[in-house]
Amino acid sequence: MTDRMDFIKRSEAMIALYAEGKYLDALNVTEQLALEFPDEASTTSLWRVCLLSRVGKTDEALKTMSEALGKGMWWSEAVLRADEDLMPLQGLPAYEAMVAECRTRKAAAQKDSKLEMLVRLPAGEPPYPLLIALHGRGGSPDRDVQYWEPLLQMGWMLAMPRSSQLGSPNMFVWDDAALAREEIGSECRRLLEGYRIDQERVILAGFSQGASAAIQISLGGVLPDRGFLAVAPGRMAMEEIEQLAHSAHGRRGYMIVGGRDPRHESLAQIHTLVNRNGVPCEMEDHSEMGHEFPNEFGRSITQALKFLLA
C-alpha cells in the first residue's frame, strides 16, 4: 500500500468523527495524521483550519493557515470559498488577504502545468487492448500505477493521464469536469492514433475522483470505449449521470465499492440508476473495504474486463 492509500485509509477515523459532530476529536486525529504523513501537509493543514474554524477557534484557524502559507502551501480559492467550515472566516481581513495570496500562487503554478501521460506497454505484439486509468483527487499516476500493473500481464496497454489541474502544490485534481473531459479526450485520441490499439477493446477506468470522471467521460461518448471500471467513485450529480446514461448506447459499467465508504449508499443508487437507463452495470461490493483499492485487485480487474467485454 502506498503512503497515499495508507493516508486515505487512516483518514477514515477523522471523517467518521466529523460526521458524528465530534470536531475536537476529529482535530486530534488530524494532528496525528499531520505528524505521520508530512507529504500530505497541504491536506492536513487545510483540515486543521476547517476544524478550528468549525469549533469557533478563529484566531487559531487563521494562525494555522498563515503558518502553512509560510511553508509554501496554497489552496484553490473555490475550496476556500465553498467549504462551509470556513464560512466564519469569510470577510475577515486576514483571511481575505490569505485567499488573495493563494489565488496568486495558484495562477503562477497553473500557468505551466500540462496534462502528462504515463504509458506502459505489455509484452507481445500489437494491436493492444487499452485501459485508461485516471488517478484520484490529489493522486498521480506514479502513486497508482502499481495497482493497475496486473493489466500488463493480461496483455493490455495501460495509459495513465496526470491532470493539468492543481488544487494545491503537487496535488493534481479533476475539479473542472469540462476541462478534464477536453484534455483527456484530446490526449487519448492522440494515443489511439499513435499506437496500434485494438479499438474494440478500450476501457476507461479510475479511482475516487478519477473514477467519477471515467464514468462521466465514458457515458458521455467522448472516446470509442466499451465502458468504465470505477473503483470507489467520488461525488457525482445523480441528474447528470441519469441524463448521460440514457443516451450511452452500447456501453457497460463495472463499479468496485466498499461497505465502509461514506458514499456507499449513493454509489448503490448510481448503480441502480445506470442499469435502469439501459447501461448494464455490475457492482462488486466489499463489505469491509473503505475508500480504497480492494485487496487482490488483479482478480477484480479480470472479473471487470470479462463483464465489460461481454
198-235: pLDDT as tens digits? 999 999 999 999 999 999 999 999 999 999 999 999 99
Higher pLDDT, 262 or 258: 258
pLDDT tens for residues 87-100?
A: 999 999 999 999 99
Region 270-285: mean pLDDT is 96
pLDDT tens for residues 11-36?
A: 989 998 998 999 999 999 999 999 99
CATH number of the structural domain 3-111: 1.25.40
Return the pLDDT at 3.
Answer: 65
Q: Hey, where are the domains in the chain?
A: 3-111, 116-308
pLDDT tens for residues 286-300?
A: 999 999 999 999 999
Return the pLDDT at 117.
Answer: 95
Region 248-277: mean pLDDT is 94
Average pLDDT along the chain: 94
Share of the chain above pLDDT 70, in %: 99
Region 154-167: mean pLDDT is 96
Region 42-63: mean pLDDT is 96
Region 264-289: mean pLDDT is 95
What is the second-level CATH architecture of the domain 116-308? 3-Layer(aba) Sandwich (3.40)
Nearest to 110 by CA among 136, 84, 74: 74
Return the pLDDT at 21.
Answer: 95
Q: Quote the pTM value.
A: 0.90
Return the pLDDT at 5.
Answer: 79
pLDDT over threshold 80, residue 277: yes
Return the pLDDT at 26.
Answer: 95
Q: Which of 4-18, 146-160, 161-175 has the lowest mean pLDDT?
A: 4-18
> pLDDT band at residue 112, thresholds of 50, 70 and 90?
confident
Return the pLDDT at 1.
Answer: 44
